[in-house]
Structure 1
């Protein structure tokens, strides 16, 4: 909907794309400490307040009369959502039965993939009439989710823990290493979708619509396989699942960067959805199924993951323009070497 959004405010589509950055920067930054704050305030209460804040910010997006005000409202949306994602994962980890954490996270991943896959289509359809309808829709959904809420917190003493101690616990070296591994995995695989689109255009002459369909293939594959991946994580182990996903990711990145047939690139990129789910479910299971488990730790890992995706275009676009092959070989090498070196061994992981 960026062209329609830009037209509404009298700015170019490139300028309108700042609305994406305005959302994700506070989303990732606030998530560094939102989990620790949420456990101190109570998960259920914080998630409900997060949804309420998201509703108000969405309404502000609809009512914004200038583009700068719209950017402020988008930043508020991102900050509000930072108080839902990690705490939902933390609540899921607390509710999952022993030995079935991977399956529960697989369900979570499949629903996330469904949202990520359908959002561009629904947003585009809304923009055909008025882009504001998309924000009205997410406001209604957030309001309904806020009413539904999540299960009540189990009292475990964390609400009485000093905030400084909770933040220090969330920033432990093992947590940071897991977060950096997640950032590397996300940035060097899912974050390369922009380069896949560039190659489809420059090498194969594929238009914008078909390129969008190709990129959607990864989300569809992730949606269809997330539950199976979750069960596989329970069977083969969390760390091994992440490394398996990274191995598939290496092959995918090399394939989409070198294969000479467009159908082969399409098939390879679809496999990236499965590789991403293996890494994502495995990383979340490592945190939630070990002694590191806490809302604060989940929050830090998720923040670094999204940060890795945000940095991917900045890191790899100049490399791709200098040498298209190197643009894919370097992230593949980082997945192959960097991720196993970063990922720590944790008890229960």
Structure 2
């Protein structure tokens, strides 16, 4: 195995870190909406810090591996992948999530009535906006595939610049539920693909130290500044690259923590689809049924349940037909983290 392939454990680690932030962020907001967490300085600081970069991180990683599939697969195969991996799960889990909210009654944040089950799943509802944005972004890339085949690196460079310019120009209404998520996220998707084509992330300790400084600096800005679109784009880009460099540098030394992140990263789609259901159920059980309203146990248990209950379902021997009906990813052959050879980290 080449050093390049050995180092590809870091994207799974980064996805694992990203899905932890997603579950934590949604649990954090859920506790605030339920009145268990005051809407004060602490809530807003943590919320701003997480939401400054955690979804751009996922789009960057989604784009990282896309150049290869764009060059290798034809439009028909891409259409099948988009349908079964993105569109169908989005539709199924829209109704599963709404049905669970209906069953929860007034215990749910933003309780819904039976009419909610008539909601059209397009564009993506609630946290499933992520899948709809990916559908649009990948769909545009596939439509422009003939251009990409003339030069894959120039294509991703041009698309990175054009998508950033489109967002900054505000020519398309940013509040549209149909396009807002894709417009905000496309620059990170295409930047991820471009960076992959340009080469690996830096892995020296000096790069790691600079990444820590850069990340702290932009997170402070995210918390303290009421910036506009340009500021958000800059903060998110620096934060995403800094986090990935830190993960890349830590990869050979991550040990058991690295293996856990890899496992969570490889199962991140299932966790993303299910986590809000389990986290909300645990919050309702603790606060309404058991009378436990303290922040720490609610936060720890909702995050743990949102991560590990979907993980258990993903790893369970679910029949392939049922897995397909539920729109769940196929159970992977787990590629657990293995340290790089000694001396692989530059000094």
**TM-score where L is the length of structure 1:** 0.30
Q: Give the structure, 1 or 2, with the largest relative contact order (CA under 8 Å, sep 6 or more).
A: 2
Higher percent of residues as helix: 1
